[in-house]
């Protein structure tokens, strides 16, 4: 009965719009309101189901201060987001302290699965890195925002400089260099910004490593 009345009101409203007695937007609003609400609910549900991963690199090595999401299928009490402590370990129910630093997400997932297998049948564990905090680079000198920055996978000098917000008017962009500690020795890698962006010497745009310091004189 309710559906019949609603349908009748819609037909009458359509006639009134045709005769110019009712604004068309009001009729359209009545028709599309439920569809719009359904679409918003669906989009919200899709967004909530997506996992936020800081890196898609399966070879990423977990380090101290990284945030790790451990998801155990159908076990919400065992699933949680945990930080990697300075000693390289994470704390999980049943397993207590688990070494995470030095492992990839896949390796850590296997380790947790093996530990939980003592307490349950066929545990299914997924591990993702939700925040990268252990891999850091430093940008100093004549830049707008000097300081410490997160090193993303395959980040180059040019990409890192873009995070610093650009150069100050006093910067000498031809004399930039990267300081890197390697095998106990300090290495100086030159970087001529103008040559790189003009394509004259793109080889200077090297991939950065954790601990690198970019100096902009």
Q: What is the CA radius of gyration of the chain?
A: 28
Same domain? 204 vs 148 = yes
The shares of helix, strand and coil residues in the chain, as percent rounded to the nearest 5, are 35, 25, 40
Per-residue pLDDT tens, the chain, 217 aa: give them.
444 444 445 444 444 444 444 444 443 444 444 444 444 434 333 333 345 788 888 888 999 999 999 999 999 999 999 999 999 999 999 999 999 999 999 999 999 999 999 999 999 999 999 999 999 999 999 999 999 999 988 899 999 999 999 999 999 999 999 999 988 899 999 999 999 999 999 999 999 999 999 999 9
Distance of alpha carbon 143 from alpha carbon 89, whole angstroms:
36
pTM of the model: 0.62
Same domain, 166 and 188: yes
Sign of the four-CA dihedral 30, 32, 38, 43 = negative
* Predicted pLDDT at 50: 43
In contact, 51 and 105? CB cutoff 8 Å: no
Domain of residue 109, CATH code? 3.30.1950.10
Instruction: Please indicate, yes or no, if residue 159 is contained in any of the structural domains.
Output: yes
Q: H/E element holding 128?
A: strand 125-131
**Last-in-domain residue among 81, 110, 131:** 131
Q: Could you list the residue range(s) of the whole structural domain that residue 45 is in?
A: 2-49
State the total domains in the chain.
Answer: 3
Asked if residue 118 belongs to a domain, the reply is: yes
Asked if residue 59 is part of any domain, the answer here is no
Contact at 8 Å (CB) between 89 and 64? Answer: no
Q: What is the spatial distance between Cα 37 and Cα 45, in angstroms, rounded to a whole number?
A: 12
Residue 67 near residue 135, CB atoms below 8 Å: no
Give the phi and the psi of residue 114 in degrees, each rounded to 5: -60, -40
Task: For CA atoms 118, 119, 125, 130, give the dihedral sign.
Answer: negative
Pinpoint the alpha helices (H) of the chain.
Answer: 2-19, 24-49, 105-116, 157-163, 193-198
How far apart CA 213 and CA 217 sit, in angstroms, is: 13
Give the CB-side neighbour count of residue 113, counting CA atoms within 13 A: 13
């Amino acid at each position: 009965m309710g559906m019949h009345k609603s349908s009748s009101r819609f037909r009458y409203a359509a006639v009134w719009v045709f005769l110019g007695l009712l604004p068309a937007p009001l009729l359209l609003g009545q028709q599309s309101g439920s569809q719009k609400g359904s679409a918003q609910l669906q989009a919200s549900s899709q967004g909530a189901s997506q996992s936020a991963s800081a890196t898609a690199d399966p070879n990423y090595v977990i380090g101290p201060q990284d945030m790790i999401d451990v998801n155990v299928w159908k076990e919400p009490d065992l699933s949680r987001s945990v930080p990697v402590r300075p000693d390289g370990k994470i704390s999980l129910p049943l397993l207590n302290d688990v070494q995470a630093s030095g492992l990839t997400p896949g390796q850590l997932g296997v380790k947790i699965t093996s530990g939980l297998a003592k307490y349950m049948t066929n545990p299914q564990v997924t591990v993702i890195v939700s925040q990268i905090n252990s891999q850091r680079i430093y940008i100093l000198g004549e830049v707008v925002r000097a300081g410490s920055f997160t090193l993303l996978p395959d980040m180059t000098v040019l990409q890192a400089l873009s995070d610093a917000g650009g150069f100050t008017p006093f910067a000498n962009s031809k004399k930039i260099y990267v300081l890197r500690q390697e095998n106990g020795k300090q290495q100086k890698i030159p970087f001529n910004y103008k040559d790189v962006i003009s394509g004259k010497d793109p080889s200077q745009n090297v991939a950065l490593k954790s601990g690198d310091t970019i100096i902009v004189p």
